[in-house]
Chains A and B, each alone.
Chain A
Amino acid sequence: EAGVAQSPRYKIIEKRQSVAFWCNPISGHATLYWYQQILGQGPKLLIQFQNNGVVDDSQLPKDRFSAERLKGVDSTLKIQPAKLEDSAVYLCASSWGQGSGNTIYFGEGSWLTVV
């Protein structure tokens, strides 16, 4: 079974530029997550989708970050304009359902450096 796919793996951009990350979850997983992980910290949830609907985006900086999952399968996370503090690993994850008892599975991450 294929895991969570993410691209690109690495991206270096200048501040104020834009970047987009793509994620394809495990087949059949209805719930998709985007996490931000800064060096030395644990993953922080940015946004959670259930199928093509947003369940939680309370920690998404909506002035610069956006995400969509239009057909309820793959998803795109965009940052525009990027700031230096956005340098982090962006982890996509998926699970069968939402809520307790579900195990989330991560992709390998998209590493962003903003210079």
Chain B
Amino acid sequence: DQQVKQNSPSLSVQEGRISILNCDYTNSMFDYFLWYKKYPAEGPTFLISISSIKDKNEDGRFTVFLNKSAKHLSLHIVPSQPGDSAVYFCAASGNQFYFGTGTSLTVIP
């Protein structure tokens, strides 16, 4: 019962362009959403979050958009940098946190 899905296992983007990572969820009771970034051999690092009462949250180059009617959230990174190359996990929480399977982003210099 995968309640949070990231359907794109990988994404390649040119440096300076926009990276868009997508995430879908099934449980309408989720009310807090987070994105984590993970480098090889390290634990996931918190990146940005959004409450269900908002539809957008921005932090520097990172913006998360939430579409509750579609049960969809996305992470926009602009401009993308080579150091952004990592695996990105989305997570949703109600009483518990549920994680997607991750999208591996490669930013090509």
Contacts from B to A (Cβ < 8 Å):
4, 30-32, 34, 36, 41-46, 49, 51, 89, 91, 93-97, 99-102
Once the chains are docked, how many angstroms separate the CA of A91 from the CA of B42? 10
Q: Cβ of A114 < 8 Å from any Cβ of B?
A: no
Q: Contact at B44–A106, with CB atoms within 8 Å?
A: yes
Known: A100-B93, A101-B51. A42 touches B43 (CB 8 A): no
Q: Cβ of A104 < 8 Å from any Cβ of B?
A: yes
Once the chains are docked, how many angstroms separate the CA of A44 from the CA of B99? 7
Q: How many chain-A residues does the 8 Å CB contact rule pick out?
A: 26
Q: Which residues does chain B contribute within 8 Å of A100, judged by CB atoms?
A: 30-32, 93-95
Give A61-95 interface residues, CB cut-off 8 Å to B. 91, 93
Q: Cβ of A45 < 8 Å from any Cβ of B?
A: yes
State how many angstroms separate the Cβ of B96 from the closest Cβ of chain A: 6
Contacts from A to B (Cβ < 8 Å):
4, 6, 33, 40-45, 48, 56, 91, 93, 98-109, 111
Once the chains are docked, how many angstroms separate the CA of A102 from the CA of B33? 10
Q: Contact at A105–B101, with CB atoms within 8 Å?
A: no
Once the chains are docked, how many angstroms separate the CA of A43 from the CA of B92? 12
Q: Which residues does chain B contribute within 8 Å of A91, judged by CB atoms?
A: 43-44
Q: Which residues does chain A contribute within 8 Å of B102, judged by CB atoms?
A: 40-42
Q: Which residues does chain A contribute within 8 Å of B99, judged by CB atoms?
A: 42-44
State how many angstroms separate the Cβ of A8 from the closest Cβ of chain B: 14
Q: Contact at B45–A106, with CB atoms within 8 Å?
A: yes
Q: Contact at B42–A105, with CB atoms within 8 Å?
A: no
State how many angstroms separate the Cβ of A47 from the closest Cβ of chain B: 11
B97 interface neighbour in A41, A45, A107, Cβ under 8 Å: A45
Q: Contact at B96–A43, with CB atoms within 8 Å?
A: no
Once the chains are docked, how many angstroms separate the CA of A102 from the CA of B56? 18
Q: Which residues does chain A contribute within 8 Å of B93, judged by CB atoms?
A: 99-102
